[in-house]
Amino acid sequence: MSTINKQIKSKHPYLKQWIIQSVPSLIDKFYSMQTKIYWIIHGLVDFPKCQNPNCSNTFKNRNVGSILKGYPQHCSSSCGLNSPLTKERAKNTCIERYGTISPAQNEDIKNKSKKTCLER
Ligand SMILES: [Zn+2]
């Protein structure tokens, strides 16, 4: 665990108190200090939702990976793969990557990689 946590606990008890009071939704001991600090930095008042528009899960039962990384975009990797947004994004990446490919390049390889890309 991070030194931030230790430092806050041992050297800044008032800061710790302030952090805890600032995020009442995270009162449960389950939530890490990183998660609390992340909420304060980003001004969160509620648990973020999974970014798959067809999914209603929130990150209620999770802590952030780190203050910098925050929450994952999706509640699970399979949910991320099923998200229409992910599919859309993958398609756009393909178009960006292969849409302007030089015509001098082998047409066959180009089509093959495009196909694999779109099937994903
Ligand atoms: Zn989800």
Domain residue spans of the chain: 1-82, 84-120
Mean pLDDT by 10 residues, the chain (120 residues): 75 90 95 95 95 95 94 94 85 74 56 64
Q: Considering just the CA atoms, what is the radius of gyration of the chain in Å?
A: 21
CA of 56 to the centre of ligand 1 (A): 7
Q: What's residue 11's pLDDT?
A: 85
Question: Distance from the CA of 68 to the center of ligand 1, in angstroms?
Answer: 21
pLDDT at 116: 65
- Collapsed DSSP state (helix, strand, coil) of residue 100: coil
Q: What is the pLDDT of residue 108?
A: 66
| Residue 66 near residue 34 (C-beta atoms within 8 A) | yes
> What letter does residue 58 receive in the DSSP assignment?
B
At residue 19, the pLDDT reads: 93
Torsion angle of the four alpha carbons 5, 11, 14, 18, in this order, in degrees rounded to the nearest 10: -20
Tell me if residue 88 falls in helix, strand or coil.
Answer: helix
Q: How far is the CA of 43 from the centre of ligand 1 (A)?
A: 22
Distance CA 110, CA 74 (A): 31
Measure 69 CA to ligand 1 centroid, in angstroms. 18
Give, as residue ranges, everything with CB less than 5 Å from ion ligand 1: 50, 52, 55, 57, 74-75, 79
Tokens 């600032």 locate to 22
Cα 75 to ligand 1 centre (Å) = 4
